[in-house]
Amino acid sequence: MYHAPVKDMLFVMKELAGLEQIAALPGFEEANADTVQAVLEEAAKLCGEVLAPLNAEGDRHPSYWRDGVVHATPGFGEAFRQFAQGGWQGVQHPAAYAGQGLPKLVATPCIEMLNASNLSFALCPILTDGAIEALLTAGTEAQKQMYVPRLISGEWTGTMNLTEPQAGSDLAQVRSRAEPQGDGSYRLFGTKIFITWGEHDMAQNIVHLVLARTPGAPEGVKGLSLFIVPKFLLNADGTLGERNDVQCVSLEHKLGIKASPTAVLQFGDHGGAVGYRIGDENRGLEYMFIMMNAARFAVGMQGVGISDRACQKAVAYAKERVQSRPVDGSAKEPVPIIHHPDVRRMLATMRALTEASRALAYVAAAHCDLAHAHPDEAARVRHQAIYEFLVPVVKGWSTELSLEVTSLGVQVHGGMGFIEETGAAQYYRDARILPIYEGTTAIQANDLIGRKTVRDGGAVAQTLLDEIARTLAALETQPGTAFASMHLHLSQGHQALANVVAFVLENARRDPNAVFAGSVPYLKLAGIVLGGWQMARALLVAAEKHATDPSFYGAKTATAQFFAEHILPQAVALEVSIVSARGGEGILALSADQF
């Protein structure tokens, strides 16, 4: 069973992400504490009672392709109808297009629950969210009115079509073409692969957003345009017309997320798929990045969600599995394994990483809300820059740590974790895609270096370092072992991050191999330190409010101390691998022929 951690979610939203400040922004007045709690409790009910029970079913009985038609896992269609009818697709989208217009900070825990309960199912609404964002940003008003309300209602779903057999991460290699017609439409031709929920039977229509080249377009990514290609063409009144010339020719067979159909789509086998350009010609990748950024944040939340699900399952097993007497001799009979020190270490690691990544993601979501709704333009710009800095960290670090957390979940189960029937292995397999799709961890790390650190001369990084310094000053005023540990290790992490930022700025142009060889360690270091910062802030709140709920805030204190003593010290080692050891030299010492 999955039980959404609503209490912890609300703690992070209120105490760390500033829900009260977000609710004071123009347009977000309805996001008061009572409303938000009600929303989260309803989301928890849907995810726990409807979606979570289908998770293992989807792994055992994946979606399948037959004669061009894709059939979803039994039960998914009805679950999707409940999801859509409950208005969950529209939580963060504008009321003007039939959404609920709530802040991203409120939508984020809902997305976490969705991913924790059923990762394969969650991918469908996540891709639809991205399509909605792209249309709202670059579409004409007529396109918005035609497509967005139907995507929000769940009548239709959306996809993102970038990858081709020869064009994975290198989108300059995209060869799909779009030929203009006399009526303003285009005919598209080409093959797209790895299209998540690219074909299915859960909705009436599927809106494909497709990158393609128009005749005479420049080479490389500067020649890509973005097109709407619906599965079914639309009549003038918006009703569905004839089937478009886009077909699913196969589904991939995958390690995990088996219930999510990953399609190979063929455009234009019978005269060309009808498409409509979004925005200006040759600006497609710019628009697609809007969709990709939304999807990258959501994938980061997949990392948080699946980590929490694996943690819950491991804790439940550790409390019931009886093995061996305690090492301290406190009992003469075997005890539940949760009493053994190393099992406690594993469970505490899982918990600490999950809570830190959740907190960092929710704080990022709040910056996104401030960037969109703050009345002061300078403040909007500042918060947007912080949000954009945090997105690759949320995506990269949260997904990488999900591999550690889900692997530890298998380890806690021992041999039974290796047996599929227990379910622990599914989380491990499902998590393995997360550091790969929507931009690998290396791509996120390269983005963190190039666009987010070097481009502004480290300005946003320094802003965050200054904020951490203020938290360190607050820690100094508090007595107790937990505060002393947090101050010591966060101080060291703070210095390690500052040193690496300086190294990146100094060497990015004169020795790019050295810098980019350490790009993923830099991203992980940033995640550990920024996550540790959130745990330090949580520790300060827990000390202040401990008497109101000793069990909850005591657990917060203990988890923060564990993070300080067992996770934060990794930051110093990562700094050494990047700066002191000049990691690029060791990485590049072997020639290609020597491997």
Closest-CA residue to 230 (of 211, 251, 207, 247): 207
What is the C-alpha to C-alpha distance for residues 7 and 13, in angstroms, rounded to an integer? 10
String of DSSP letters for 191-249: EEEEEET-S-SSSSEEEEEEEEE-TTPPSGGGGEEEEEEESEEE-TTS-EEEEPSEEEE
Strand partners, 447: none
Q: Are strands 186-196 and 273-278 parallel, antiparallel or unpaired?
A: antiparallel
* The one catalytic residue among 133, 164, 355, 438: 438
Bin 182: left if φ > 0, else alpha if -120 < ψ < 50, else beta.
Answer: alpha
Q: CA 167 to CA 174: how far, in whole Å?
A: 6
438 catalytic? Reply is yes
Buried b or exposed e, range 32-56, using 16+ CB within 10 angstroms: eeeebbebbeebbebbbebbbebbe
Q: How many CA atoms lie within 13 A of 455 on its CB side?
A: 11
CB-based contact 450:509 (threshold 8 Å) = no
CA distances, 209 to each of 5, 69, 206, 278, 292 (Å): 35, 20, 10, 9, 12
SS3 per residue for 533-591: HHHHHHHHHHHHHHHHCHHHHHHHHHHHHHHHHHHCCHHHHHHHHHHHCCHHHHHCCCC
Amino acid at 227: F
Rounded Cα distance between 413 and 434, Å, is 23
User: How far is the C-alpha of 442 from the C-alpha of 217, rounded, in Å?
Assistant: 29
The CA-based angle 399-402-405, given to 5 degrees, is: 165
How open is the CA angle 182-187-192, to the nearest 5 degrees? Answer: 160
Length of the chain: 595
Task: Give the H/E segment covering residue 29.
Answer: none
CA separation for the pair 439, 595 (Å, rounded): 26
Using DSSP's 3-state secondary structure scheme, residue 325 falls into coil
Reference 93, options 46, 139, 128, 47; nearest CA is: 128
CA distances to 533, 541, 562 from 471, rounded to whole Å, are 7, 12, 18
Q: Which residues are designated catalytic?
A: 438
